[in-house]
Amino acid sequence: MKLFITTEVSWDTGLQKIHHIFPSDYSKKYFRKNYGNEIKEILISLVCLESNSFKRRKRFTKSDSVLSYDIIFDYEYIKSLGENEKWQFVANELISSVNIIESYKFKNFNSELFKNDLTQLCEDFFFAEAF
């Protein structure tokens, strides 16, 4: 399975740094297990913009077996956090976003195993990173 994490963020939030925190091959290293055959790719978009007029997008395309969804952060709250607090908050939100996947009630997707691997990724890179 492939996992992609993208950002749509205001520059002053600092969340674009996520692309420098994770190594470019994180998907191959952390998500090479078989979680089931219903999902081939997951695209998570981290959204934190000054305008709070966004609704969470979530979509599963059965023909491609691609699930995509947004995690929307409150702009003012993210800006108020220190670096370590911010990344801990982002990591916790990423991990808890597995409930979005579970809301689809896939019959053949091991969400617990995926959550464990996502947690390991966050522990290795968010919590180990010295900001």
* Residue 87, pLDDT above cutoff 50: yes
Q: Cα 20 vs. chain centroid, distance in angstroms?
A: 15
Tokens 């990173």 sit on residue: 129
Mean pLDDT of the chain: 86
Q: What percent of the chain has pLDDT over 90?
A: 51
Nearest to 19 by CA among 31, 33, 7, 35: 7
Neighbours of 54 (CB within 10 A): 12
pLDDT-derived band of residue 122, with 50, 70 and 90 as boundaries?
confident
Tokens 């959550």 sit on residue: 115
Q: Write out the two tokens for 79.
A: 């800006």
Least confident residue range of 17-26, 80-89, 97-106 = 17-26
pTM over 0.75: yes
In this prediction, residue 24 carries a pLDDT of 66
Q: Is 3 helix (H, G, I), strand (E, B) or coil?
A: strand
In this prediction, residue 131 carries a pLDDT of 38
In this prediction, residue 130 carries a pLDDT of 41
* Residue 125: burial class (beta carbons within 10 Å; 0-12, 13-18, 19+): middle
Query: 5-19, 22-36, 70-84: which has the highest mean pLDDT?
Result: 70-84
Contacting residues for 108 by C-beta, under 8 A, at least 6 apart: 36, 37, 38
Contacting residues for 97 by C-beta, under 8 A, at least 6 apart: 44, 69, 71
Phi then psi for residue 3, to 5 deg, are: -125, 130
